[in-house]
Amino acid sequence: MTDVEILKSLYEAINRGEIDRALEAMAQDVRWSRPPDVPITGTLEGIDQVERMWRAFLGSSGRFEIEPTSFEQNGDRVLAQVTMRGGGEDGVGSFEFSGAQVFRLAEGRILEVHEFRSLPEARAVLG
């Protein structure tokens, strides 16, 4: 499976609420860095913290999905442009925003994720 296929599978699992399946793509010591102006900000250390983040998103919003719109790869890094959507079934607390995620993978596992609000910032990390 290519790195991009791994990420597509990750997004599909998240969108179906299959957190355990999504976590299978990650290294136990994964690091996930989030921008300062989003819910659950900072750097998450390890698969347990990432799991808590995803369960919090799915549990609090009623609906949560990530739509990847494009992928760019440079070596062991993949940039995914994404749109995130969520909110209650009645529309209360709904949100939608676009950004980018840069993944570093090795041996079929996600080692690092950095999230960005802007594509230029993400491309700088992509290299």
pLDDT at 51: 93
Q: Under CATH, what is the fold of the domain 3-126?
A: Nuclear Transport Factor 2; Chain: A, (3.10.450)
pLDDT at 83: 93
**Least confident window among 25-29, 38-42, 89-93, 104-108:** 89-93
Q: Residue 101 pLDDT > 80, yes or no? A: yes
Q: Give the three-class secondary structure for 95.
A: strand
Q: Where do the domains of the chain lie?
A: 3-126
What's the pLDDT tens digit per position in 30-72? Answer: 999 988 776 677 899 999 999 998 888 777 656 788 999 999 9
* Beta strands in 2-106, from DSSP E residues, in sequence order: 26-34, 42-45, 64-74, 77-86, 95-106
71, 4 Cβ separation under 8 angstroms: yes
115, 38 Cβ separation under 8 angstroms: yes
pLDDT mean over 81-85: 92
pLDDT at 76: 96
